[in-house]
Amino acid sequence: MDKQEIRHLLEQVKNDEVSIDQALLELKKEPFEDLGYAKIDHHRGLRQGYAEVIFGAGKTPEQIAGIVEHMHARGQSTILITRMYQEAADLLMEKYELHYDPKVKLGLIGRMPEPDGDGTILICTGGTSDIPVAEEAAWTAEAMGNHVQRLYDVGVAGIHRTLAHLDDIMQANVIITIAGMEGALASVIAGLADCPVIAVPTSVGYGAAFGGLAALLSMLNSCANGVGVVNIDNGFGAACLASMINHRK
């Protein structure tokens, strides 16, 4: 149960549509559910503003399906699964209406919520090869109730491509920059924007890119102000931070 659902429940109590005892019963349910192989955090939405997301890597298809079943039974209307492989997607499709992108390895059960953030989260990539990480960020941000704008393949190898979107950059409330190679895009964008910039290094690059380490160090050493950096290929983490910023009233 997330904050919107709690608010709706309280409105129902106020309007005499739900009794106080029924509301208390809903709120008193265990904050987590122990399945043996997983402890589902049903109160995360109440604490943090968005419900728990399933990290699919390392879990069997049956484990993922079990977690989804219990989340669904407790009324979670939007269930996001990251780093999920085709075998798990095939199993979930037998029972649920699953939207799955095999390139991003990301699945969604249920509908995207209506955006209720303060503004737009702009997601920029240095190149086309960074799009899978960007789409992980975009799906996550949308599932958390944000309006997302995508701006792909605007890397510094052709800086005119970036400058052609100055209006979008300056109007965003939060920007996520995603780049491999030397990771210079974060510094360029942060030098143009007046909002927080979240940098995501990707593992895209030739040998000396060291699987994203070169981009990570470059972003950490950015001379532009207002840049925060998350881990390599961590589009999900960047979106969580961007959503928190975008929902601050």
Q: At 202, is the secondary structure helix, strand, or coil? A: coil
Q: Bigger pLDDT: 139 or 72?
A: 139
Is 18's pLDDT higher than 60?
A: yes
Specify the number of domains making up the chain: 2
Same domain? For 233 and 169 the reply is yes
Question: How far is Cα 175 from Cα 27, in angstroms, rounded to an integer?
Answer: 36
Domain that holds residue 71: 3-109
Same domain? For 46 and 76 the reply is yes
Q: Is the dihedral of CA 83, 85, 90, 92 positive or negative?
A: negative
Residue entry with tokens 């699987």: 211
pLDDT of residue 83: 92
Determine the distance from the C-alpha atom of residue 135 to the mean position of all C-alpha atoms in its chain, rounded to a whole number.
9
Q: Mean pLDDT for the chain?
A: 87
Question: How far is Cα 83 from Cα 81, in angstroms, rounded to an integer?
Answer: 7
Global confidence as pTM: 0.81
- pLDDT, tens only, 178-188: 999 999 999 99
Residue 143 contacts residue 121 (beta carbons within 8 Å) = no
Domain containing residue 130: CATH number = 3.40.50.1970
Question: How far is Cα 48 from Cα 41, in angstroms, rounded to an integer?
Answer: 11
- pLDDT, tens only, 72-101: 877 777 888 999 999 999 999 888 889 999
- pLDDT, tens only, 30-72: 677 667 777 777 766 666 666 778 898 889 999 998 888 888 8
Same domain? For 201 and 90 the reply is no
